[in-house]
Amino acid sequence: MRRHRTGQGLRFIAFACLALIASACANLKAVREFASTSSDAAQYSQLVVAYVDTPARMKRYEPESQRAVLDREIAERKAQQERLLLRQKLIQEYMDALKQLADDELTSYDKELDALGNAAKTAKFVDQGEATAFAAVSKVLVLAVTDRWRQGKLVTLIEETDRPFQVVVAALVKIVEQEFTADIAIEREALNKYYTGLERQGKDPAGLAALAEWRELREGQIKGHDTAIRNYAVVLKTIAVGHHKLYESRHRLSTPEVQTEIHQYTKRLKEAFNAVAAL
């Protein structure tokens, strides 16, 4: 009888230990989903490519006298492309690390992490504050890999990165909302001027009909591009606000109320990104 009770006691202790281990890994499903969705949505590089190629597209609308100006802008945009893609890559890599820690996995080593750190030193960011913030986030990411962080370091990751992360995302939002949007306005005006001029000169009904179809097609493309830009700005802002919510709630991330709030940010992200990807 004593041996039977001893066996029951051992089984109870084993069960208690398993329960304790399971509870040590907090339920962070909402955090994982937010990080995964953010990583996917942030790396929408097509908008960067379209922005870089705008001066080249403008050549079809502008007179020969503007070619030198456009060629200079093409070179400037090519130089800017690397910095834009680096910002997107940093957000993606950070969110991947956030997801891995929420999953209680080791953050995977990506050689591009070293490249990101070096890029912060060599890339010519317009704002030195952003360069410093970029380097700060990169440094934490590399530390998370080299020191083999797990879920227990999730709060540390969020605490140490929220402020510089907000700076990097805000800088990208500013470019998207100001420079990308300004490009759309300029291209729309140039297109209108170009096709209106051709329509005034045209006399053949069939030619005018074909011209109208091309104009409608190009106007539709520009409208879709404009919509994509606006939704991408929503994506970036939602990532920033959602991450700050993680920071504010960092000591109670597994509570049902926080999980529900984070889920709402993920839902908003998916809606905005789906609107971008559908175009």
- Residue 165, both tokens: 């992360």
Residue 155 has pLDDT above 80, yes or no: yes
- Residue 133, both tokens: 């913030």
Of the candidates 102, 81, 99, the one whose C-alpha atom is nearest the C-alpha of residue 91 is 99
Amino acid at 85: L
Residue 131 has what pLDDT?
Answer: 87
- List pLDDT tens digits, range 268-277: 999 999 887 7
Q: Could you tell me the pLDDT band of residue 14, with boundaries at 50, 70 and 90?
A: very low
Domain coverage including residue 95: 2-277
Report the range of poorest mean pLDDT among 65-79, 102-116, 207-221. 102-116
Q: Which residue has the higher pLDDT, 147 or 119?
A: 147
- List pLDDT tens digits, range 47-97: 999 999 999 999 988 888 889 999 999 999 998 898 899 899 999 999 999
Amino acid at 127: D
Residue 8 has pLDDT above 60, yes or no: no
Q: What is the average pLDDT across 212-237?
A: 94
Helix (H, G, I), strand (E, B) or coil at 149: coil
| CB within 8 Å of 172: residues ≥ 6 apart | 84, 87, 88, 91, 236
Total tally of structural domains belonging to the chain: 1
* End-to-end Cα distance, the chain: 73
CB 235 within 8 A of CB 272: yes
Q: Which helix (H) or strand (E) holds 254?
A: none
pTM score of the predicted model: 0.85
| CB within 8 Å of 237: residues ≥ 6 apart | 169, 173
What is the SS3 assignment for 59-89? CCCCCHHHHHHHHHHHHHHHHHHHHHHHHHH
- Residue position matching structure tokens 């005034």: 200
Measured CA distances, 250 to 91, 154, 262 (Å): 19, 8, 12
- List pLDDT tens digits, range 126-141: 678 888 899 899 889 9
CA distance 257 to 38: 21
